Structure 1
Amino acid sequence: MPCFIFVEPSSDGWIVRGDLSGGPLKFATGARAEQAARDLAHRLADAGEPVVLEIRLRDGARAGRFLFPSHGAQTGAALARRA
């Protein structure tokens, strides 16, 4: 079962939420939130956990959905795939 991560607007910026311990992460800009979410997704994929990352726009519409397949001990980083 993949881990789900969402980047979405909040009242005072942007949040990264999902199957994370410690609650949502808050950011001032969408770009920073998206980069943090992608970094997290890569780390989880490196650890062997498949990840689905979904990014939302200010109006709530989906901007993108990406799959980060688990690659654990494999050499080289797997690229995210648009889902």
Structure 2
Amino acid sequence: MPCFIFVEPSDDGWIVRGDFRDGPLMFSTGARAEQAARELAHRLADAGEPVILDIRLRNGARAGRFLFPPHVAETQAPLALRA
């Protein structure tokens, strides 16, 4: 079962939340929140977890959804697929 990570607006900026150990992460900009979410998704995929990253716009509409498959030892480049 994949791990889900969400990037969405909050009252004070942007939040990254999902199926990971740390509580929600707060950011002042959407760009920084998305960057942190992608880095987290890559780390989880490197650890063998499939990840789905769902990014929302300020109005709540979906900006993008990406699948990060579990890392395969023979592949050197990080991989993300638009879902």
TM-score range, shorter chain: over 0.9
Q: How many pairs align?
A: 83
- TM-score where L is the length of structure 1: 0.94
CA root-mean-square deviation: 1.1
Equivalent in the alignment of 2:43: 43
One-letter identity of the residue aligned with 1:8:
E
Equivalent in the alignment of 1:28: 28
Inter-partner Cα distance in structure 2 for 1:15 and 1:66 = 17
Equivalent in the alignment of 2:70: 70
One-letter identity of the residue aligned with 1:51:
V
Equivalent in the alignment of 2:2: 2
Inter-partner Cα distance in structure 2 for 1:50 and 1:78 = 13
Segments of 5+ residues of structure 2 without an aligned counterpart are none
- TM-score where L is the length of structure 2: 0.94
Inter-partner Cα distance in structure 2 for 1:40 and 1:82 = 17
Equivalent in the alignment of 2:11: 11
Inter-partner Cα distance in structure 1 for 2:75 and 2:64 = 27
Give structure 1 regions of 4+ aligned residues with deviation exceeding 4 angstroms: none
Equivalent in the alignment of 2:61: 61
